[in-house]
Structure formats: C-alpha cells, structure tokens
Amino acid sequence: MEKENLTKTQIIMLILLSSFVVSFATGIIITTLAEQKVPQSTNTINRIIEKTIGIGATNFVNTEDKEKDAVRQLFITQEELIVNIVEKTNPSVVSIVATKDVPIVEQFFINPFDGDSFQGLIPDFQIPQYRQKGVEKKQVSSGTGFFVSDDGLILTNKHVVEDAQAEYTVIMNNGKKLPASIKSRDKFNDIAVLKVNGENYSFISLGESDKLKIGQTAIAIGNALGEFQNTVSVGVISGLNRDITASGAKSGPEELKALIQTDAAINPGNSGGPLLNLNGKAIGINTAIASGAQNIGFALPINIAKKSLEDIKKFGKIINPYLGVRYIIINEALKTANNLPVSDGALVKKGTQGEKAVMTGSPAEYAGIKENDIIIEFDGKKIDKTNTLSHLISEKKAGDSVLLKILRNGEIIAIKATLEPLPENL
C-alpha cells in the first residue's frame, strides 16, 4: 500500500514538475521574443535615420526606452535636415530688384482769376496744376530668383522681369549687388532666365517634378513682400496638376497649367524663388498665391524650366515649339451644343475675330490638319481639360516629330507633324 502511495506521489510530482518546466520554458520563449522585438524595431528606425542624415543613430538612443527615443530622434533629424538644406541653398537664392527712370512730378497752384480782367475778384482761389521736373531712378518692383549654374544663370518668373524698360539688379544673400541682364523670357510659361557676370556661384540642383507625391515636404525660399529677403517656409505638396488664372502681371492675366499646389507660405515677392524637396533640389518655381485663402500657393514644375535652360545653353534664348492651330477644348457642354461625337479632345476652330483655324505656313498646315478636325491624342497622350494641347506641345522641343490622332468625319486618322520654333510675330 505504501509502495502504491509512493508511486502515486511520484506521479503527481512528475506531473507538477513537467508543468513547471513547460511553463518556465514558455516564459523564456515569450520573454526572449518580446525582448528581440525592440532591437528589430530600433534597428529599422536606425536605418531610416542613417539613410536620412547619413550617420548612425546608436549614440542618440536611450537604453531605457530605445523605440521612443529613436522616434524622437527621427523628428529631430528631419528638423536638422531642413536647417542643413536652408543653410546650403540660401547663398543660391537672390532678390531681384527692378529700377527705372520715373518722372518727377511737381505740383503748383494757379488762380484763374488773376490778371487784369479779374484782378481781386476771388483772391484766394487756387487750382492745383502738375508738371514734370526731370526724372529719378526708383525701384518699381522686386521678386526672387535662384542660381542654376555656377556661371551665373538665374531662374525666375517672367512676371518678375517683364518690364523691358527697367534695369535689374540681383542682391545676393550676403548683401552684394550685381547687375543682371535678361537672357530670355518664355512667351507661354511664366519663366525667365537672367545672367550675371562671374563664375563659381553656388547653385541649386534641379530635381524631378514629374514624380512628386501629395504629402511630400516642400520648402519655399524667397524675398517675402519684397522686404524680408530669403524668408523660409515649410509645408507639404497639397495638390498636383492645378490650373489657375493668375492676375498681377503687367501684361494681364495668365493661364497657368499643371501647377504644384503647396501650403508652404508663399507671399508677394516670393515669385521666382525655389520650391525645394528634402534632397535640397528645386522641384518648382514659386509663382502665385490664391487671394482670399490661407496657405494655398502654386509653383511651376521644374521640368518645364529644364527645357528653357537647355534652350538657353543651345540657342541663347528660349525656343517655344509651335504647331499652328487654334482650338477649343471639348467638354460636355460643347459636345451637346455642337453635336460632337466625343466629350474630350481639341476642336480645331477659327478664332473669335475670324482668325484662321490652321495658320498659314504652319506645321499643322503642312501636316494636313483641317478646320473642324478633333485632335484626340498628341504623341500618345489623350487630350482633355487636364492635358490641353498647348500643355502637351510645351513639353516638346522645336524639331520634334509628333503623331496626332484625329477624328475627322467619324473616322480616326493618324497624322505626323514636325514642330517648329514659334515665329517672333506670334
């Protein structure tokens, strides 16, 4: 009996011992996995920090709470990154000041009742009169620009330097003033290129605007209000491919297409300054603001400017490609009103003053495009209110051959055309 009881006791002890061992082993496994999870996560954050700033993060990680401290350091790193970008690019951003001879107007007063016939009739009656008394040179406008080459090429907006009678001066970040000449103004895009003498200028590299994503960080630098030089603002890219009508240019309202929208503060005087990414590269040219709104600014995509700079280096001026048609972008209303077979495309049509739909001697005429043709595709890209014909043409160069898909009398035909430089008289 005692032997049997002992055996049962041993069995019970064995079961308890087994349970304890299993529980202990499980506890070790759970504890080990939990402890391993923190270093794995921390290593991931370390790699992000190393990739972002180029240094190891181990010196900054608090051993008590590695994950939390690494996340904190990640935000500090982004702040330091922006500071470093601004410090590096600020010498390349300049203020552009326009000055010109402005008449000096002198005011004087006359009494029309003076003289023999009215002597003393109304002795204190005075009428103001004005006359010019010479001229003086005055600042008439200001904006921003930035160096894009070490030999003194500066990129800015056309509306910053559109006054042909003005003289332009570039004010460097260190206060140095340099006279600037206008190399070229783009007739269709709000872009201009200036040149200053000298070399070894610090310049900003150009990024890639076709691959931008909404939510990316954006840094704007410019001569805010024409008074606060090299003002920095930071935000995100809020939208892409925005079309606006911008007022404020001396030549009148401008239709601007495919703009970058940002909430980085852009103010009058910022025009022509760079919009930067976190690589310190220019992705846009700050151009316009939405009046009556908060934190809605617009920048021209830098890829448009790249073509202008290539033209400057090759031809000495900006060359706009030219097809030579007048057209209306089709929408539902136009489709219904004219009983058109499609709701997108460019309807080749006469101008409002009777101007020819297809210009004489143009690439379009040579290619055989006719009035009432509907151009539905331009070199493989569909034409609609977002991709207008003029925008698609602006992405090409003079001399490029393009394939057009045209709807004519219910039949789709393909036509090849070779773009030419825009004539000077257009």
**186 DSSP 8-state letter:** -
Strands 381-382 and 346-348 come out as unpaired
The per-residue pLDDT for 323 is 94
Q: Can you give the three-state secondary structure of 310-364, one letter per residue?
A: HHHHHHCCCCCEECCECEEECCHHHHHHHCCCCCCCEEECCCCCCCCCECCCCHH
Out of 238, 271, 362, 394, the active site residue is 271
Answer with the residue of higher pLDDT: 303 or 289: 303
Least confident of 46-50, 362-366, 400-404: 46-50
What is the radius of gyration, based on Cα positions, of the chain?
34
What b/e string do you get for 142-161 counting C-beta neighbours within 10 Å, with b at 16 or more? bbbbbbbbeebbbbbbbbbb
Mean pLDDT throughout 83-103?
Answer: 87
What b/e string do you get for 183-194 counting C-beta neighbours within 10 Å, with b at 16 or more? bbbbebbbbbbb
CB 113 within 8 A of CB 125: yes
Please state, in angstroms and rounded to a whole number, the distance separating the CA atoms of residues 39 and 279.
Answer: 29
Mean pLDDT throughout 243-260?
Answer: 68
Strands 127-147 and 177-185 come out as unpaired
- β-pair partners for 110: 127
CB 422 within 8 A of CB 319: yes
- Other C-beta atoms closer than 10 Å to the C-beta of 385 total 10
Please state, in angstroms and rounded to a whole number, the distance separating the CA atoms of residues 192 and 145.
Answer: 10
The H-or-E segment that residue 257 falls in is strand 254-262
- In this prediction, residue 370 has a pLDDT band, given cuts at 50, 70 and 90, of very high
Mean pLDDT throughout 55-75?
Answer: 52
- Kindly report, residue by residue over 127-156, the tens digit of the pLDDT: 777 777 766 667 667 889 999 999 999 999
No. of helices (H) and no. of strands (E), the chain: 6, 20
Please state, in angstroms and rounded to a whole number, the distance separating the CA atoms of residues 293 and 192.
Answer: 27
Strands 192-195 and 282-289 come out as unpaired
What is the three-class DSSP state of 412?
strand
The per-residue pLDDT for 118 is 58
Answer with the residue of higher pLDDT: 59 or 99: 99
Q: Is the pLDDT of residue 414 over 80?
A: yes
Answer with the residue of higher pLDDT: 56 or 392: 392
Least confident of 29-33, 58-62, 100-104: 29-33
Please state, in angstroms and rounded to a whole number, the distance separating the CA atoms of residues 183 and 194.
Answer: 5
The per-residue pLDDT for 218 is 92
CB 230 within 8 A of CB 222: yes
The per-residue pLDDT for 153 is 95
- Range list for CATH 2.30.42.10 in the chain: 321-421
Mean pLDDT, the chain, rounded, equals 79
- Reply yes or no on whether 124 is catalytic: no
Q: Which CATH number is 209-306 given?
A: 2.40.10.10
Place of tokens 């690494």: 70
- Reply yes or no on whether 159 is catalytic: yes
- In this prediction, residue 68 has a pLDDT band, given cuts at 50, 70 and 90, of low
Please state, in angstroms and rounded to a whole number, the distance separating the CA atoms of residues 218 and 414.
Answer: 42
CB 406 within 8 A of CB 342: no
**60 DSSP 8-state letter:** G
- Reply yes or no on whether 379 is catalytic: no
The per-residue pLDDT for 8 is 54
- Kindly report, residue by residue over 320-340, the tens digit of the pLDDT: 899 999 999 998 888 888 888
Out of 190, 263, 311, 373, the active site residue is 190
The per-residue pLDDT for 384 is 87
Report the candidate in 209, 222, 323, 318 with the shortest Cα–Cα distance to residue 258.
209
Out of 92, 141, 159, 394, the active site residue is 159
Tell me the torsion sign for CA atoms 114, 116, 117, 121: positive
Q: Is the pLDDT of residue 126 over 70?
A: yes
The per-residue pLDDT for 55 is 42
Considering the four listed CATH numbers 2.30.42.10, 3.40.50.150, 3.10.129.10, 2.160.10.10, the one that applies to the domain covering 321-421 is: 2.30.42.10
Q: Is the pLDDT of residue 371 over 60?
A: yes
The per-residue pLDDT for 381 is 92
Helices (H), 225-299: none
Angle at 165 between CA 196 and CA 285, to 5 degrees: 50
CB 181 within 8 A of CB 195: yes
Report the candidate in 190, 337, 168 with the shortest Cα–Cα distance to residue 250.
190
Q: Is the pLDDT of residue 206 over 70?
A: yes
The H-or-E segment that residue 381 falls in is strand 381-382
Q: Is the pLDDT of residue 345 over 80?
A: yes
- Range list for CATH 2.40.10.10 in the chain: 209-306
The per-residue pLDDT for 365 is 93
Answer with the residue of higher pLDDT: 283 or 426: 283
